[in-house]
Amino acid sequence: MKHATRMKAALALALAGAMGVALDAAAQANEIFVPALVYRTGAYAPNGVPWADGFVDYLKLVKARDGGVNGNKIAYEECETGYATDRGDECYERLKSKKPVAFSPLSTGITYALIDKVPADKIVLITAGYGRADSVDGGDFKYVFPMLGTYWDAADILVQHVKTKGSLKGKKIALVYHDSPYGKEPIPVLEALSKSEGFELLKLPVTHPGVEQKATWLQIRQQRPDYVFLWGWGVMNSTAIKEAIAVSYPRLQMYGVWWAAAEPDVLPAEMAAKGYNGLALGHSSESNNPIHKDMIKYLYDKGQGTAAKKEEVGSVLYNRGMLSAMLTIESIRSAQGKYGKRVVTGEEVQWGAEHLNLDAARLKALGVDGMMQPMKTSCSDHEGVRKARIHTWDGSKWSYTSDWYESDAKLLRPMIKASADKYAAEKKFEARDCSKVS
């Protein structure tokens, strides 16, 4: 019987091989390939869909409006990950054969899985607003770019913000987090801050997918923390807000990280979510920038848009997906500035991403003025900018309710260094010395 196994397997493999070849042929030589790891199904689809739409729309816009980057066409392909690490890994392997320059997996779990692989494959990993916090250190993480902000910044900024309302000494802060690498990421910083600021930290994990939170919120009702930080994703966020309502926890004292502060999170609770706060990663739900007008003009008026409804353009997560794609495109452009206006490789885009300089004028030219802060990356700083502010849901829309905060480098820098060095030691590789990198 066993030969049969082999035979059938061989057939299957031959079939798959043929497909692989066809796939290779499809990728044309004069295109820059940008893969889109998305999730449009499953428990995280409500949040995954707008991000994916924004990401893909920006690539489409570059194609339709500019004809590519410096005359080089952009090709893209979506791959569904379902927010599952192994499926993301599969997508990475599948799309790798098309010579992609940069991945944006939109999942901290997938980021962790890919971090070990990208240096060997020479592919850039742009994790705008998520991913592994210590990868800010480009010495150890050459190919990983947690641009715009990491969860360590977010934790620090949230604490800074609640501190403005009075000393935290003797106060209680509850962290309600998604029980995955994503949700666990801020814990080291919050623990360090709880020591220095003197507040008590309650850690309340919520299991995937996050629809079971009754017990969590009963605990909150009993412990009566002064603030709740919500580190959720997908359906977990809206459930958390609903459960908060069910135990009468004041929404004003709730703060979501920037992934727990978008329309799909608050809309299911409708008016009752009023007063709920969240971090805004540079942008909120701006929808009248030149970039949005271009989206409508070049894509939606021609029926080419990805989103099901035109109104989705400009929603919080749509904007973030758009900015992620923009950072990828700008990294490509920056690489072309050094290596020539041709189809660049992943290795060249690494240089581009490491020398990205988006100042206010450039952001204005890109049409995203006011949606992100000027940023500049370098070998020792793969993040570029570490600022955020608070926005609050008023029952129908988000509006800013605080000034800009910048995370405390004195606190975070040593932690990043220690953690990144530990990673290098674990993986037994030599870190780059950033003082010698031009």
Which pair of structure tokens corresponds to residue 285? 């739900």
Cis bond leading into 181, ω under 30°? no
The correct pick among 122, 163, 172, 221 for binding another protein (CB under 8 A) is 221
Size of the site for another protein (CB under 8 A): 93
CB-CB contact of 61 with 294 (8 Å) = yes
Q: Which is nearer to another protein, 380 or 419 (CB)?
A: 419
Q: Does 15 bind another protein (CB under 8 A)?
A: yes
Q: List residues bridging with 204 in a β-sheet.
A: 176
Q: Does 25 bind another protein (CB under 8 A)?
A: no
CB-CB contact of 392 with 277 (8 Å) = yes
Q: Which is nearer to another protein, 185 or 383 (CB)?
A: 185
Considering only the stretches 27-35, 217-225, 253-261, 341-349, report the one whose residues sit in contact with another protein under the rule CB under 8 A.
Answer: 217-225
CB-CB contact of 310 with 119 (8 Å) = no
Give least dist CB 436 to another protein, A.
Answer: 26
CB-CB contact of 213 with 206 (8 Å) = yes
Q: Which is nearer to another protein, 325 or 375 (CB)?
A: 325
The correct pick among 105, 139, 225, 264 for binding another protein (CB under 8 A) is 264
Q: Does 311 bind another protein (CB under 8 A)?
A: no
Residues numbered 155-184 forming contacts with another protein, rule: CB under 8 A: 179-181, 184
The full DSSP string for 334-384 is HHHHHH-SS---HHHHHHHHHT-EE-HHHHHHHT-TTTS--EE--SS-SS-
Q: Does 185 bind another protein (CB under 8 A)?
A: yes
Q: Which is nearer to another protein, 268 or 367 (CB)?
A: 268
Residues numbered 61-90 forming contacts with another protein, rule: CB under 8 A: 78-80, 82, 84-86, 89-90
Q: Which is nearer to another protein, 400 or 429 (CB)?
A: 429
Q: Does 112 bind another protein (CB under 8 A)?
A: yes
Using alpha carbons, select from 276, 258, 239, 225 the residue that is nearest to residue 158: 258
Q: Does 150 bind another protein (CB under 8 A)?
A: no
Q: Which is nearer to another protein, 7 or 360 (CB)?
A: 7
Which pair of structure tokens corresponds to residue 295? 């989206």
Residues numbered 30-49 forming contacts with another protein, rule: CB under 8 A: 38, 40-43, 45-46, 49
The correct pick among 22, 169, 430, 435 for binding another protein (CB under 8 A) is 22
Burial class (CB in 10 A: 0-12, 13-18, 19+), 309: exposed
Which pair of structure tokens corresponds to residue 125? 């990993």
Angle value at C-alpha 262, between 256 and 265, nearest 5 degrees = 80
Cα 30 to chain centroid distance, Å, stands at 29
Burial class (CB in 10 A: 0-12, 13-18, 19+), 49: buried
Q: Which is nearer to another protein, 49 or 101 (CB)?
A: 49
Give least dist CB 127 to another protein, A.
Answer: 13
The correct pick among 7, 360, 418, 425 for binding another protein (CB under 8 A) is 7
Q: Which is nearer to another protein, 403 or 426 (CB)?
A: 426
Q: Which is nearer to another protein, 16 or 409 (CB)?
A: 16
Q: Does 385 bind another protein (CB under 8 A)?
A: no
Pairing of strands 124-126, 73-80: unpaired
Q: Read off φ and ψ for residue 391, nearest 5 degrees.
A: -125, 155
Give least dist CB 367 to another protein, A.
Answer: 27
Q: Does 2 bind another protein (CB under 8 A)?
A: yes
The correct pick among 62, 115, 159, 372 for binding another protein (CB under 8 A) is 115
Burial 80-110 (b: 16+ CB within 10 A, else e): bbbbbbebbbebbeebbebbbbbbbbbbbbb
Q: Which is nearer to another protein, 276 or 351 (CB)?
A: 276
Q: Does 428 bind another protein (CB under 8 A)?
A: yes
- Build a one-symbol-per-residue string for 197-216: x at contacts with another protein by CB under 8 A, - elsewhere: ------xxxxxxxxxx-xxx
